[in-house]
Chains A and B, each alone.
Chain A
Amino acid sequence: MKVAIIGVGTTEFGELWDESFRSLFLSAGLSALEDAGISGKEIEAIYIGNMSAGKFVDQEHIAALIADHAGLAEFGIPAIRVENADASGGSAFRQAYMAVASGMHDIVIAAGIEKVSDASDPMEVLSSAIDQEWERFVGANLPAIYAIIARLHMHKFGTKEEDLAMIAVKNHKNAVHNPKAQFRKEISIEDVMSSPYVAEPLKVLDCAPLSDGASAVVLANEEIAKRLCDTPVYVKACTQASDYFSIQNRRDILTFEAVVKASRKAYKISKIEPKDINIAEVHDSFTIAELIAYEDLGFAKKGEGAKLIREGETEIGGRIPVNTSGGLKACGHAVGATGIRQIVDLVIQLRGEAGKRQVNAENALALNIGGSGATAVVSILSR
C-alpha cells in the first residue's frame, strides 16, 4: 500500500529554556495535525522517536505520557517509543511507515522529541550511543570516534580540515532562511578553522549542537491522503540497516556500511537512483559525517566526497543540494527528533513551501544515523 505524508510540524530547534519535554511535543504534534487538517481523533497509532528521556529528563514510558498530554487519552490508541540513539526519529518514522504500508493502520503519527538542555552534560548522554564498555571506558566519546574516522579520511584521501569547514559554512548559510533553525547566522571558513578542537581534527564548529526540539509528521494510506490533502508527499522507500557497533570491528572505518546497505536497498525499492535524487537531508552530526554520506549514498565515489563540497555541488543551486534546512549543524540536533525533522524539511521542499531556500525537487532523500553509524535509516520521498 502506498504511504503518503499529509501533515508536518516542528518546533524551533535550540536551547528552549521556556519549553518543557511535554510542551515541546504538544507544539510539534498540534502543528502537524493542523497542517494535515485533521482533529486528532483520526489517529490510530503514535510512534515516538526519543533517545534518552530517562537520562535527559528522568522520564521513561514517554509514549503513553505524550499520547495523554496530546489529548489522545480518550481514544486509547497504541503509543510506541522507538530508540536508536540519534536515529530514533528515523526509526520511528519507519515503524509508522510500515504500520500504514502493511494495512495495519490507515493514519498514524510519527514524531521525535528530545529535551536535552535540562541535563548538565548532554554530550555525555549522546555518547552513550557508542560502546560504554569498550569505547567510552577508554576515554572516547562520540566526537572522538568521528575524529578518528576524519583523521584517517584526511590521511588516506587528502581531505583537508578546510573541506570539512566548508560543510559547516554551507549549512550555516542554508539555516539563515530556515525559521526553525537554531543558528540563523552565516559563518566563515576562518571561523571554523579558528574554533577550538573538540576532538582533533574536529573543531567546535565541525560539531552539531545538541538541541531541544520536537517534530511530527502525519502518515496515511494513499486513499485517505488523496481525500485529505492537496499536496501529499509519497514515501517511496524507508529502509534501515545496522553495522558492527564499534569501529574496532569495522573492516573499513571510512565506510558506513549501514548507510551503504540501507541506501542501496532504498534505491532498489524506489527505483530511484542516486542521480535522480534532487535534494537530501543527511546526518551531519559532525562535518565528516556529511562528507562520508556523500560517498556512501552514491553521490560521490569513495574518497571523493571533498570534491563535491569544493565544487559547490551540494549547495543550494548545485547538482544535489544537501541540508538546505541547515542540517544538524545549523538547524540543530534534537537527537531523537532529528530524523523526523529531516522528513519535515523535505516535505516542505517537495511541496514548494521552502521560501528562500527552495530547491526544485522531485525526489528527496533523508539519512538519519545512530551514534557512530551502527544504525542508519534512509527514506526516499517523492511528490
Chain B
Amino acid sequence: MVPRIWRRIRYRYNVIASYCESCGSYYYPQREICPKCRRRGIVKEVEINDEGTVLSYTVVNGRKIALIEFKNGTRMLAEVCGDIEIGSRVKKAFRRYGEDGEAGIIYYGTKFVPII
C-alpha cells in the first residue's frame, strides 16, 4: 500500500489535472492520453486552484462525498467538510483522508470546505 499512496502524493495534495493543448480539454485525475486527440494530443499537467461548485453529493459512512465542478469544466470527486447542497461554492482544504491502521502511514489529500 505504501508505494501506491506515495506515487500519488503530488496529485492528492493539490488538484492537478491534465490539459490537452491540442483541443483545450481538461481531465481530472490527470491522464497520459487525451481521449479526443489520442496520439495527436499534447497533454500537460495543470494545477487547479479555483473555487468549485457542488454538482451533486451523497452522505456515506458519515462522510459527505461530492462531485465538484471547476470553472474550466473539470470535475472532481472529493470529500466536503461542512454543510452543502447542490450549487454550493467550495474551496480546497488540506486534510487527512485515512490511515493504514494505527501504526501505518497517514493518507493526506485535498478535501473541500464551503465558502462562507
Q: Point out residues on A near B: beta carbons under 8 Å.
A: 133-135, 137-141, 143-144, 147-149, 151-152, 155, 197-202, 244, 246-249, 253
Contacts and interface: CB of A to CB of B under 8 A. Distances in A.
A147 B67 contact: no
A152 B86 contact: yes
A139 B60 contact: yes
22 contacts: A133-B29, A134-B29, A134-B77, A137-B8, A137-B107, A139-B65, A140-B77, A141-B61, A143-B58, A147-B58, A148-B57, A148-B58, A149-B56, A151-B56, A151-B58, A155-B56, A199-B59, A199-B60, A244-B35, A247-B67, A247-B75, A248-B77
A4 to B, nearest CB: 38
A137 B75 CA distance: 16
B28 interface: yes
Contacts of B63: 139
A159 to B, nearest CB: 13
Interface string B66-78: 1100000001111
Interface in B100-114: 107, 109, 111
B53 to A, nearest CB: 13
Interface string B2-36: 00100010001000000000000001110000010
A160 B107 CA distance: 37
A152 B75 CA distance: 14
Q: Which of B27, B28, B65 has the most CB of A within 10 A?
A: B65
The 5 closest A-B pairs by CB, nearest first: A147-B58, A152-B56, A199-B60, A144-B60, A200-B59
Contact of A249 (B27, B57, B61, B65): B27
A144 B65 contact: yes
B55 A147 contact: no
Residue from B58, B76, B97 with most neighbouring chain A CB atoms (10 Å): B58
Nearest to A134: B29
B55 to A, nearest CB: 7
A230 B61 CA distance: 52
A138 B65 contact: yes
A237 to B, nearest CB: 26
A138 B96 CA distance: 10
A138 B29 contact: no
Nearest to A249: B27
Nearest to A142: B60
A151 B56 CA distance: 6
B107 A140 contact: no
Given A151-B58, A152-B56, A248 B28 contact: yes
Contact of B29 (A155, A247, A248): A248
Contacts of B67: 148, 247-248, 253
Contacts of A155: 56, 86
